[in-house]
Structure 1
């Protein structure tokens, strides 16, 4: 599978490493340091680098893993080349207080970032995924926590795109868990911020995994 990665930071870089190890080919893009981006791509098998539009054009599936504040720059030229493609997003617009000193999660949003992205990329098939884990967990040799593997929650409106997400989630070493249509990203993005805050304030961060148990 060809995977375009927009956002070659900790999350995007870690997933690029995992997915190339699984035999996929990636195109990395959007890093603060272009020289480091070239080195990052050179260190991986089956990896190249380019602009966000290059990565989106290259990928049969696209991962968007950038700070919310960088979306305008990261999406330059992207809407025109992602028609019909699954786009996985782990972008969050919430601003959790990691010190645990406030009630609630400060945000001015009335919709999830995933829903905003679905409007900004109307021809793509958005799937919210990979926002309930930490880059440090992805960088570990495996995702095992004793006898358990962590859950990875995802949501979206397009069945075929969600099937692609399930494959990539499982290949990354997680248990995929479908939490419904894309509108559920409102809850999933909030859960992700709560999870980060609790992990930080409890001292469990960054080597902690979220597990949903079912009977």
Structure 2
């Protein structure tokens, strides 16, 4: 399935399919390329964990109602940015939070370290969380609404060139206790045993892809 096809899916369908795909960010220091290793689905007006629950349409959530393929960037706790991939069709609020990435190579890691300093013995914490990866990729609200599929864009999604051969686990999303019965939904997806995943589930579930992806 192509990136163009993935972003037309619902967030719940797109979130596991974005694992292993590539995110590219052009910074003043050069391009940084990384692999997506953890995602969370926030999809539909019925999701009590979503900013757009109940079709809440505000200046902040407006991007979630756009056609899939753009970035939704917002600020949490007044200090950390989070980047999402908007998916699905127009007027149906769907977004996939990118929770963790892995730098593709040493140059990518060094450019990340120039933006977010971490000790040598804590390199795995460089971009293993939504706020951390935005710091390491210099992502802020100026990128809200950016087209992620545009060739040469400063923030874009690319398809992985090699086959995606890994197991996926899923479990509840993180820090959404307010979402009532939706808090326990297994809508966080990550590459099993990957060192850059932000948090491990105490009782992980194996993700079984739909038949059309086998």
TM-score range, shorter chain: under 0.3
Q: Which has the higher strand share?
A: 2
Structure ranking higher on relative contact order (CA contacts 8 Å, 6+ apart): 2
TM-score by length of 1: 0.26
